[in-house]
């Protein structure tokens, strides 16, 4: 080639490669799809200049050519595939959108600069919002994020969050998916199309979803880099929930079994999540199959009731015991539970945490045994013993057994109160402050029991003691307010305490709101900048709202404070319970029931939360307010032959 021709060619190439990346401005253009296909074909042309010109034209089209280019990355022509991959990676996506809310855009801000784990966190945060614009954002991520795994995760997050959409919301969901997904050939968007179909044609969609699950499991087995264990699990979970909503429990059980073969490499933490999910979806028989599968891989030594991780991990063994219990295999359940309690005999922190988990799952009989194990095997002033005693008492109080709660606490109360007066040095005050919360709760339990027995004089004395140890204990103030309705003089004292506490909380709530608003305006998530502060801020906001809702004050401000606590700690069951009480105080039974329903879904075995759920549901019925009830899970303890219902023991 002559020298001047070479120079001309080099100049052309330099100019072509000097073009900017795929321009985000081109997102508004809509080129002819046939033209895009022709240009992609030209990426593999034998003539270099034709290939370069086609690449330049596609670059100018911007994101409008994204879908076709993504499909071209798998072209059999290596030249086309490589150039398509280069172009895809050059795309500049405008993740924030003017039509999105400030909150949604705060999660999309700087999205392109985040690593995979941070983007995964943003996807989870968007899913929790459960808003239409958050759904729209998830659709765009599924369509345009070049990570195939994140594309799939965004699609599943959207499907799981909106699978129960009804009425007007269902119509909006379908439209958003149609508008945002377009004709994308990618796997994640194709899942969203099946989800969209499931909203109106559940049976047809279920067949497609079954194929998707098997395809993804095969992919995970053969090419794990292209998917993830979590993606497979989420796919199966969506399918199981869909089948159960259609009343197809047997088919749902078959779907649950799909994950058993891939569980071989699960960590103990992952096995815990899977086993818990199987139980929550009424698959105890599948739990047994899962345990046996792992036991075959690692047979049990003589000192274990079953081989594998289920015989070594007390939490897994208790879940297996629960699976046997709900199938009425009582002897086997007790055998597993006894073996679980004997594991790790000196790990009292583990026994304490296990007791809490059992409480949360409604396995109260075994929870009591674990709490008692920690209490009985430690000194009365030992840290683990005190924590176990307090939580054990709280559990009994939550189910209406306040006398039992006081009985549990009282040996420690008597022990510690003998020590406090003897302290004549400055450290005595420190010790009193350290134990003040525990002492306040103990006297509250006894006061509640006395009130239930009709001994109001003794109840008032104990409440004064409770407030002496912790003057801003919300439940003690609420109990004092309740008793004040029967005694005018007592009412005056109670209000003085409440007014003082409300004035204490108000400036904190105002300060927290201003800080949070500042972070939101600057599009910075609270987790990025507030860290551990968010938990403390949420607690203060919740306590203020709880006190107002159950006594008196500015109910609208209490609602604002409660909502802030939930922004700081999304999905917290106790905080949702508070918000429901705030709306109860306003007489808004519809919203009270709505948020109490969410609370009881988070805390299905809390006695007080369940009681309020049924109360608010009844109020909706009484006031002819539309409300969709849910079936609450029964305590596994109901399967014991000698089970005694609440209030009969």
Name the residue with tokens 């159960």: 244
For residue 513, give the CATH number of its domain.
1.25.40.10
Mean pLDDT score, 122-145: 90
245-255 tens-digit pLDDT: 888 999 999 99
Q: What is the CA angle 430-434-438, rounded to 5?
A: 145
Rg of the chain's alpha carbons, rounded to an integer?
30
- In angstroms, the Cα distances linking 457 to 442, 454, 490 are 17, 9, 11
Domain that holds residue 66: 3-89
How many domains, the chain? 3
Answer whether residue 144 is part of any domain.
no
Q: Among 67-81, 289-303, 446-460, which range has the highest average pLDDT?
A: 446-460
519-566 tens-digit pLDDT: 776 655 444 445 667 888 999 999 999 999 999 999 999 999 999 999
Where a domain ends, among 57, 89, 121? Answer: 89
Q: Is 23 exposed, middle or buried (0-12, 13-18, 19+ CB in 10 A)?
A: middle
Answer whether residue 393 is part of any domain.
yes
The runs of H, that is alpha helices, within 74-147 are 78-89, 102-108, 116-129, 132-144
Where a domain ends, among 89, 112, 132? Answer: 89
Mean pLDDT score, 426-450: 82
Q: Is 645 helix (H, G, I), strand (E, B) or coil?
A: coil
Mean pLDDT score, 468-487: 94
pLDDT at site 524? 53
pLDDT at site 28? 42
Answer whether residue 115 is part of any domain.
no
Answer whether residue 199 is part of any domain.
no
Answer whether residue 601 is part of any domain.
yes
Answer whether residue 580 is part of any domain.
yes
Where a domain ends, among 399, 414, 431? Answer: 399
DSSP 633: P
Q: Does 509 lie in the same domain as 634? A: yes
Distance CA 643, CA 645 (A): 7
Q: Does 624 lie in the same domain as 511? A: yes
609-641 tens-digit pLDDT: 999 999 999 999 999 999 989 999 999 999 999
Residue 458 pLDDT exceeds 50: yes
Pick from 80-89, 137-146, 317-326, 578-587: least confident: 80-89
- In angstroms, the Cα distances linking 426 to 139, 430, 431, 468, 470 are 61, 7, 9, 19, 19
Question: Cβ(544)–Cβ(561) under 8 Å?
Answer: yes
Answer whether residue 273 is part of any domain.
no
Residue 318 pLDDT exceeds 80: yes
When pLDDT is cut at 50, 70 and 90, the band that residue 433 belongs to is: low
Answer whether residue 76 is part of any domain.
yes
């Amino acid at each position: 080639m002559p020298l001047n021709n070479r120079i001309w060619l080099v100049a052309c190439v330099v100019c072509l490669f000097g073009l900017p990346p795929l321009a985000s401005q081109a997102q508004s253009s809509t080129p002819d799809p046939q033209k895009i296909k022709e240009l992609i074909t030209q990426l593999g042309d034998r003539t270099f200049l034709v290939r370069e010109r086609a690449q330049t034209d596609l670059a100018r089209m911007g994101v409008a050519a994204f879908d076709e280019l993504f499909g071209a990355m798998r072209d059999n022509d290596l030249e086309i595939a490589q150039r398509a991959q280069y172009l895809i990676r050059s795309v500049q996506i405008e993740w924030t959108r003017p039509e999105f809310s400030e909150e949604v855009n705060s999660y999309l801000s700087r999205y392109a600069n985040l690593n995979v784990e941070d983007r995964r966190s943003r996807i989870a945060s968007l899913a929790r919002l459960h808003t239409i614009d958050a759904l729209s954002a998830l659709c765009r991520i599924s369509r345009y994020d070049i990570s195939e795994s994140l594309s799939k995760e965004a699609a599943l997050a959207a499907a799981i969050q909106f699978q129960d959409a009804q009425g007007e919301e269902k119509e909006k969901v379908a439209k958003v998916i149609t508008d945002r997904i377009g004709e994308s050939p990618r796997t994640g968007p194709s899942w969203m199309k099946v989800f969209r179909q499931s909203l109106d044609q559940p049976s047809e969609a279920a067949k497609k979803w079954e194929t998707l699950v098997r395809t993804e499991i095969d992919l995970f087995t053969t090419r794990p880099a292209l998917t993830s264990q979590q993606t497979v699990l989420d796919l199966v979970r969506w399918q199981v929930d869909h089948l159960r909503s259609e009343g197809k429990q047997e088919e749902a059980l078959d779907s649950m079994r799909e994950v058993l073969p891939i569980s071989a490499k699960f960590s103990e933490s992952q096995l815990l999540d899977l086993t818990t999910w199987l139980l929550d979806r009424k698959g105890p028989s599948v739990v047994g199959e899962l345990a046996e599968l792992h036991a075959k891989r690692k047979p049990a030594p003589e000192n274990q009731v079953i081989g594998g991780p289920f015989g070594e991990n007390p939490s897994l063994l208790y879940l297996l015991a629960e699976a046997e219990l709900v199938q009425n295999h009582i002897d086997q359940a007790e055998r597993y539970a006894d073996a679980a309690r004997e594991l790790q005999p000196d790990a009292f922190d583990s026994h304490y945490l296990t007791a809490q988990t059992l409480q949360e799952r409604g396995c109260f009989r075994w929870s009591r045994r674990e709490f008692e194990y920690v209490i009985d095997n430690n000194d009365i002033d030992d840290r683990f013993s005190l924590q176990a005693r307090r939580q054990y008492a709280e559990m009994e109080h939550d189910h209406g057994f306040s006398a039992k709660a006081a009985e549990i606490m009282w040996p420690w109360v008597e022990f510690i109160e003998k020590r406090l007066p003897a302290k004549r040095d400055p450290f005595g005050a420190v010790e009193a402050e350290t134990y003040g919360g525990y002492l306040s709760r103990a006297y509250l339990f006894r006061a509640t029991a006395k009130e239930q027995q009709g001994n109001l004089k003794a109840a008032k004395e104990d409440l004064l003691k409770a407030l002496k140890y912790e003057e801003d204990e919300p439940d003690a103030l609420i109990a004092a307010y309740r008793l004040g309705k029967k005694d005018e003089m007592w009412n005056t004292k109670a209000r003085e305490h409440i007014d003082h506490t409300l004035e204490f909380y108000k400036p904190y709530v105002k300060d927290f709101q201003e800080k949070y608003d500042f972070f939101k305006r600057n599009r910075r998530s609270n987790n990025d900048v507030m860290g551990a502060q968010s938990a403390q801020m949420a607690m203060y906001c919740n306590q203020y709202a709880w006190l107002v809702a159950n006594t008196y004050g500015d109910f609208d401000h209490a609602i604002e404070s409660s909502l802030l606590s939930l922004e700081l700690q999304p999905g917290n069951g106790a905080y949702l319970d508070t918000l429901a009480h705030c709306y109860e105080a306003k007489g808004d039974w519809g919203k009270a029931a709505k948020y109490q329903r969410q609370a009881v879904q988070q805390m299905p075995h809390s006695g007080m939360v369940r009681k309020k759920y049924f109360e608010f549901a009844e109020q909706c019925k009484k006031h002819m307010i539309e409300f969709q009830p849910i079936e609450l899970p029964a305590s596994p303890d109901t399967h014991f032959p000698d089970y005694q219902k609440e209030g009969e023991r």
